[in-house]
Amino acid sequence: MNVEKFKYDNYYPKLFALATIFWGVVALLVGVTIAIQLYVPALNLGIPYTTFGRLRPLHTNAAIFAFVGNAIFAGVYYSLQRISKTRMFSDVLSKIHFWGWQLIIVAAAVTLVSGITTSKEYAELEWPIDIAIAVVWVVFGINMIGTLMKRREKHIYVAAWFYIATFVTVAVLHIGNSIELPVTFLKSYSVYAGVQDALVQWWYGHNAVAFFLTTPFLGLMYYYLPKAANRPVFSYKLSILHFWTLIFIYIWAGPHHLLYSALPNWAQSLGTVFSIMLWMPSWGGMLNGLLTLRGAWDKVRDDPVLKFFVIGVTAYGMSTFEGPMLSLKNVNALAHFTDWVPAHVHVGTLGWNGFMTFGMLYWMVPKLWKTKLYSRKLATVHFWIGTLGIVAWVIPMWWSGITQSLMWKEFTELGLLKYPNFLETVLQIVPMYIIRSIGGTLYFTGLLILVYNLYKTMKQGSFVPEEEAEAVPYDRTPEPLKYGMIHRYIESKTLLFTALVFLAIIVGGLVEVIPTYLVKSNIPTIASVKPYTPLELQGRDIYIREACNSCHSQLVRPFRSEVERYGEYSKAGEFVYDHPFLWGSKRTGPDLHRVGKKYSNMWHYLHMQDPRQMSPGSLMPRYPWLLEWDMDKESIPAKISAMRTLGVPYPEGYENQAIADLEKQANEIANDLMQSGIDADPNKDIIALIAYLQRLGTDIKKEVAEK
């Protein structure tokens, strides 16, 4: 048998590993900052670029796509070569992938703090960046599939099944959700509106969690955990079962983000039942991980790498039990819009993604630098500080979520809301916010220990960019296709495997998307709901720019407690002109769907200048620049035209009249403000924002009045 000699590429795994450490520090630092901003609103230092609304997407994007993303790539580039017994398909593609991805991250950071955003969660980046992401992602895919095609192993190992699923599904999700109509170089509108946009967004959003935070990490687990424990994987059969059921079922579960919303009931129910069915497929991964450690638990005591893996996999199991539970409508009624949801997410991100990444880095960096870990003790300290950090993060947020939700729902004996003032329910949980930020700081400190420890490790070792390896070439005699060996056959065919994965994930997607079109023609229309005026549209874009939807929902659920607090519950037909939808997913502040005409123009003016003037004790940051910045009027005709292209019924030629209409309405509002003694300028952003806020949720009242 002739043995072939070749070299593993260690250079790009190294670069990705360094990038994940760097972006990890950035993402966590921003996270700690915004955690403190929630109770010290002045921490944005009075400047627009550092408000909570803009930093929150920066934190999520940096954590998901920069920290976790680079960790995935580091792990994949290292492990894929070794389970395939070959070098990566192309060094050039690796290079484009690495630098392209870093460039995208930098572009994301710059645009997000500048208020350039589509407002769709975890898909906030504007269209030029979206295109760049699609291109770089495909480069990654070609590089990965190419490597698998030229492998020297007969079969594809389970880790790579998950890598393939990651590539295929993220590509489909990203492209599907980012279909938007460009208005200017850095502004676009989602082609979907209202309920449909919400459904597509959460089909994406939920599966970004599934296929960016879950499947790639299961793949990494299947390589790094048995390697570090030096134990065989517990059950190959279980791998097959949980892999296919996981990717098939996950894709359907998105609507559980929209329970009790204006989404049709049947779609909500599908979200619920598929989430419940997802419980065991998720736990299959946890079982295979933890049971692989059978006979190696003594090593866990000494080895910090295994410690991180154990807590990581356990956290995965916890959050994938919590997820289905939160998808039950009665639990969701309590938990949605509260801190319970970020708590759930952070069990996954801090525990599963963070700890798996740390374990992997502690294992891989010494391998790449041909040395031993500088200090096991420091790694163990990191482990304990990190674990304590997670506990101090998550428990207060569970507590505050349930507390606040119960306060929102409580009635007095006279049938009135016990806490009608929303602020009261916020101030109640401030102590929890403080503890949470301490938890985050602990976790961040742990990461700094990792930086020091790995820096020292790299210092004492010497990096080997090209690692010698040898293997027997791939035996290309075809695998027999016989009973009980079907999966073995599929595993030997890269493209067949990829195609089947595509089928499994697209079926769920299509069956949900096709009825979405059905929904389009069957949303009960409301005659009195009209398109926004040019000034209101401009105000809506300012609302998006300042990311008001980070803290304020626009969706009143059909509960007595919400209808009493905010007004009539939200109907699907009210959102037909909303490109994109702005329902939000968290109520750090009150819902705004029915805020229109509730307060005077002057109230809003003073409230934006300093919320504490109108609402003493409020934790909302000040927005004084809205009173100073000139409104962007030039883009209005283009925006009107774009909206019409998307189906909003502005009359033909209206764009020519739009600026005049805008100025007329702006003058009315400015006059009203001047009558109240405010020296208002009709050309400022604040006027447009007031116009939008005063319009919100009022169309439906006209219909009631007409009746």
Partner 1 sequence: MRKHKIFKFLLMGIFLLLFSNSLYAENGSHDSLSTVIQVMVAIVVFFVIIVLWLVMVYSEKNDSEGKGFKKIFGTSKPSSIEEEEKLLLDHEYDGIRELNNRIPPWFNAILYGTVIWAAAYMIYFHVVGSGNVQEEEYAVEMRVAAMQREALKSSGALIDENSVTVTDDEGDLKSGEEVYTKNCAACHGTQGQGLVGPNLTDNYWIHGNDIKDLFKTIKYGVAAKGMPTWEAQLSPQDIRNVASYILVKLHGTNPPNPKAPEGDLYEAK
Residue that is written with structure tokens 């795994």 in the block: 13
Joined together, the tokens standing for residue 53 give 């609304």
Burial 201-238 (b: 16+ CB within 10 A, else e): bbbbbbbbbbbbbbbbbbbbbbbbbbbbbebebbeeeb
Backbone φ and ψ of 7, nearest 5°: -125, 135
Of 211 and 419, CB closest to partner 1 = 419
Of 136 and 210, CB closest to partner 1 = 210
Strands 4-9 and 180-184 turn out to be unpaired
Residue 169 beta carbon to partner 1: minimum distance, rounded to whole angstroms: 16
Backbone φ and ψ of 586, nearest 5°: -150, 135
Residue 499 beta carbon to partner 1: minimum distance, rounded to whole angstroms: 12
Helix or strand or coil: residue 579? coil
Of 153 and 541, CB closest to partner 1 = 153
Of 92 and 291, CB closest to partner 1 = 291
Residue 515 beta carbon to partner 1: minimum distance, rounded to whole angstroms: 7
Q: For residue 413, how many other CB atoms are within 10 A of its CB?
A: 6
The number of CA neighbours under 13 Å toward the Cβ of 66 is 25
Cα–Cα distance, 376 to 383 (Å, whole number): 10
CA-nearest of 705, 701, 645, 675 to 193 is 645
Of 336 and 346, CB closest to partner 1 = 336
What contacts 259, CB < 8 A, 6 or more positions away?
268, 271, 272, 327, 329, 332, 333, 336
Of 92 and 179, CB closest to partner 1 = 179
Compute the Cα dihedral for 280, 281, 287, 290 and give only its sign: negative
Of 533 and 618, CB closest to partner 1 = 618
The one-letter amino acid at 141: G
Of 483 and 652, CB closest to partner 1 = 483
Residue 278 beta carbon to partner 1: minimum distance, rounded to whole angstroms: 8
Q: Are 612 and 618 in contact (CB under 8 A)?
A: yes
Residue 240 beta carbon to partner 1: minimum distance, rounded to whole angstroms: 4
Of 154 and 377, CB closest to partner 1 = 154
Residue 429 beta carbon to partner 1: minimum distance, rounded to whole angstroms: 19
Backbone φ and ψ of 687, nearest 5°: -65, -45
CA-nearest of 604, 602, 597, 598 to 548 is 604
Assign 3-class secondary structure to 67-129: HHHHHHHHHHHHHHHHHHCCCCCCHHHHHHHHHHHHHHHHHHHHHHHCCCCCCCCCCCCCHHH
Of 521 and 656, CB closest to partner 1 = 521
Residue 411 beta carbon to partner 1: minimum distance, rounded to whole angstroms: 8
Q: Are 86 and 68 in contact (CB under 8 A)?
A: no
Of 223 and 399, CB closest to partner 1 = 223
Helix or strand or coil: residue 450? helix
Residue 157 beta carbon to partner 1: minimum distance, rounded to whole angstroms: 4
Joined together, the tokens standing for residue 413 give 């004996």
CA-nearest of 117, 24, 10, 115 to 69 is 24
Of 114 and 522, CB closest to partner 1 = 522
Residue 669 beta carbon to partner 1: minimum distance, rounded to whole angstroms: 12
Of 266 and 384, CB closest to partner 1 = 266
Residue 616 beta carbon to partner 1: minimum distance, rounded to whole angstroms: 7
Cα–Cα distance, 328 to 640 (Å, whole number): 41
What contacts 585, CB < 8 A, 6 or more positions away?
121, 257, 336, 337, 341, 553
What contacts 372, CB < 8 A, 6 or more positions away?
366, 457
Residue 119 beta carbon to partner 1: minimum distance, rounded to whole angstroms: 26
H/E element holding 135? helix 127-149
Backbone φ and ψ of 371, nearest 5°: -155, -175
Of 153 and 574, CB closest to partner 1 = 153
Residue 466 beta carbon to partner 1: minimum distance, rounded to whole angstroms: 17
Residue 438 beta carbon to partner 1: minimum distance, rounded to whole angstroms: 31
Residue 161 beta carbon to partner 1: minimum distance, rounded to whole angstroms: 12
